[in-house]
Copies of this chain bind each other. A is one copy, B any other.
Amino acid sequence: MHYRLALLGFGNVGRAFARLLQRKEAELEQEYGIRFIVTGIATGRHGIAVDPNGLDIDKALDLVERGNSLSLITQLPITDTLDFVYSVPADVLFENSPVNHENGEPAISFLRIALERGMHAVTANKGPVVHAYRDLTDLATRKKRKFYFESTVMDGAPIFSLFRSALPAAQLTSLRGILNSTTNLILGRMEEGESFEEAVQYAQQVGLAETDPSADVDGWDASIKVAALATVLMGVPLKPQEVERTGIRSITPEKIAAAKAEGKRWKLVCTAERDGDRVQGRVAPELVSPASPLYRVDGSSSIVEFHTDTLPALSIVEGNPGPETTACGLLADFINAVRS
């Protein structure tokens, strides 16, 4: 089985994925009979390269990391991302463009076009999951292709595939977790005496928080993850805007100190609970005591505890995530899409 891969987005995650593909090339062939070439790479600021015979991944990485344009190695003169998706000769599209919390575009269109063209569609982008999960999944089914998105929640930790393949016939009744790394890191730094502003700055320095940190500190990222989990795992469409949302701006150094004195910690806790035909989603700071599995989730680690009608409590904890772990989710989606 020989696959032509197209990468849309070549930032930290896209490049980590390209390196992971290189590292795992021999294993993919030996263990899964999968051979591949990368026929297209589209970036936001470093141009687009397409080569039906396969691009040199090392060269592409080198060009982008030196700030040069991929147009130097393209065989087809393409400058527009939509043109790229319409014309790249590929069997799988890996869509890693920036998230749009509002409506999921333009990623949804990119994925739809890819599926219409007969490609598998894999994304690390939460937007299309919360805004078009049903549509894209149905389209994929009609086209006998897959729409997978393991990397959208908890990086590369297997969450969606767990329910898809390892936990059949388990009905998810509720979940509870810490799903936003940035706020967890910020709260941890504040426990060590930093101000909110210092902690945000640190999170920006290590590449976790954006220049405008509001998506994290106001709970939007956590809300979109709750919406994605409810939509896919509970089968109830939930928009991020429908999640009851409180960020961490109200958690002052005084509150942190008071919690510490009691032996507790403030955590930004995500919950989703089935309530008849609906799901109640909630993101809010909570005081967590040492008896809770959430208490010891430090830094950028994350946790989710699932309650189902079969297993009463199953938790998944991911430690030390990074672009490399997100890339692992893309690789797992690729393998699972083509071997199923």
Q: Which residues of A contact B (CB under 8 A)?
A: 20, 24, 27-28, 31-32, 156-158, 161-162, 164-170, 290-291, 293, 295-296, 301, 305, 310-320, 324-325, 328, 331-332, 335-336, 339
| CB<8 Å pairs between A and B, sample of 21 | A24-B169, A156-B310, A157-B314, A158-B167, A158-B314, A168-B331, A168-B336, A169-B332, A290-B290, A290-B296, A293-B317, A296-B296, A305-B319, A310-B325, A310-B328, A314-B316, A314-B317, A315-B318, A315-B319, A316-B317, A317-B317
| Shortest Cβ gap from A263 to chain B (Å) | 11
Q: Which of B296, B311, B324 is within 8 Å of A157, CB to CB?
A: B311
**With A313-B319, A317-B317 already in contact, 5 other A-B pairs whose C-beta atoms are closer than 8 Å:** A156-B311, A158-B162, A158-B166, A158-B314, A315-B315
Q: Bound state CA distance, A133 and B301, in angstroms?
A: 35
Return the 3 tightest CB-CB contacts between A and B, nearest first: A313-B319, A158-B166, A161-B166
CA distance A339 to B74 in the complex (A): 43
> How many copies of the polypeptide does the oligomer hold?
2
Question: In the bound complex, do residue B296 and residue A332 qualify as a contact, i.e. CB atoms below 8 Å apart?
Answer: no
Q: Which of A170, A291, A315 has the most C-beta atoms of chain B within 10 angstroms of its own C-beta?
A: A315
Across the interface, name the chain B residue whose C-beta is closest to A24.
B169
- Interchain CB contact (< 8 A) of A168 among B295, B317, B319, B332: B332
Q: Are B320 and A166 in contact (CB under 8 A)?
A: no
